[in-house]
Amino acid sequence: MLDFFNKKENMDEKRNKLKRELIPNHIAIIMDGNGRWAKKRHLPRIAGHKQGMETVKNITKVASNLGVKVLTLYAFSTENWKRPDKEVDFLMDLPVKFFNTFVPELIENNVRVNVMGYIDMLPKKTQKAVYDAIEQTSNCTGMVLNFALNYGGRAELVSAIQSIASKVSENKLEIEKITEKVVDANLMTGKLAPYNDPDLLIRTSGEERISNFLLWQLAYSEFVFTDTLWPDYSEEDLLANIYTFQTRDRRFGRLKEEKK
């Protein structure tokens, strides 16, 4: 990454350093550091979330232009309800403001919105904003902008197990035929096939944990952690993180000499 940043190249030159055939199909990002960004500037935490929304807009367009197929953003976890009411209320308003201003640009960039999580537990206004954005972008055929909203990895696995168990009890599925593909299909990322699993996971702000995010899907993902706070995360940061990804040797359990 240092090599990527240290050279005095313009953005076009930096983009050209990436191997197009190795652009990750699916990038997942844990957008962390909004609160710390605001605190450093003596601003309320919600100011960090507001600036973080602008970063989402920028990174979405950059990823789409690079040829990424799916961009999954961890927007609100099932644990985030524990935060102060004022902050939660603001976060529930964000999708309304975000989609109202950004959907036209998403359509212009041929980006389709998908949202995974327990949407029915969100406030009605948030649900409406989500479903309206999904409908308005449904004809787009380019990158999928996939928000994990009121999402938790363990809860997702429980839901998948319940779904599979229900099919078994109704004699629609035999226990012996429960495979990884069956599990994949019953997870919330099933709709993203064939790009269910992220190739690259990025977490901003210096934290190095996955925080109950995509516990099944991250089995063979490459992890890149950056100290950059999410509101400061830029196109250059994304290019650098993808550059790091492209230097990795992904063998999926095989020996290097066996890789095809």
83 annotated as belonging to a binding site for a ligand? yes
26 annotated as belonging to a binding site for a ligand? no
Which helix (H) or strand (E) segment holds residue 108: the answer is: helix 85-108
Residue 144, sorted as left (phi over 0), alpha (psi -120 to 50) or beta, turns out to be beta
101 annotated as belonging to a binding site for a ligand? no
Say which of 12, 16, 25, 32 is annotated catalytic: 32
Q: Which residues are 71's β-sheet partners?
A: 27, 145
33 annotated as belonging to a binding site for a ligand? yes
Would you give the DSSP letter of residue 176?
Answer: G
159 annotated as belonging to a binding site for a ligand? no
Angle between helices 45-66 and 85-108 (to 10 degrees): 20
Dihedral angle of Cα 146, 202, 205, 147, to the nearest 10 degrees = 10
257 annotated as belonging to a binding site for a ligand? no
37 annotated as belonging to a binding site for a ligand? yes
222 annotated as belonging to a binding site for a ligand? yes
226 annotated as belonging to a binding site for a ligand? no
112 annotated as belonging to a binding site for a ligand? no
52 annotated as belonging to a binding site for a ligand? no
On the question of a cis peptide bond just before residue 194, with omega within 30 degrees of 0, the verdict is yes
221 annotated as belonging to a binding site for a ligand? no
Q: b vs e for 190-218, b when ≥16 Cβ sit within 10 Å of the residue's Cβ?
A: eebeebbbbbbbbbbbeeeebebbbebbb
210 annotated as belonging to a binding site for a ligand? yes
Strands (E), the chain: 26-30, 70-77, 112-116, 144-151, 200-203, 222-225
Does residue 80 carry a catalytic annotation?
Answer: yes
Does residue 227 carry a catalytic annotation?
Answer: no
DSSP string of 12-63? HHHHHTS-GGGS-SEEEEE---HHHHHHHTT--HHHHHHHHHHHHHHHHHHH
Say which of 12, 16, 80, 237 is annotated catalytic: 80
142 annotated as belonging to a binding site for a ligand? no
Residues contributing to the annotated binding site for Mg(2+) = 32, 222
Residues contributing to the annotated binding site for substrate = 33-37, 45, 49, 77-79, 81, 83, 203, 209-211
Active-site positions read: 32, 80
Residues contributing to the annotated binding site = 32-37, 45, 49, 77-79, 81, 83, 203, 209-211, 222
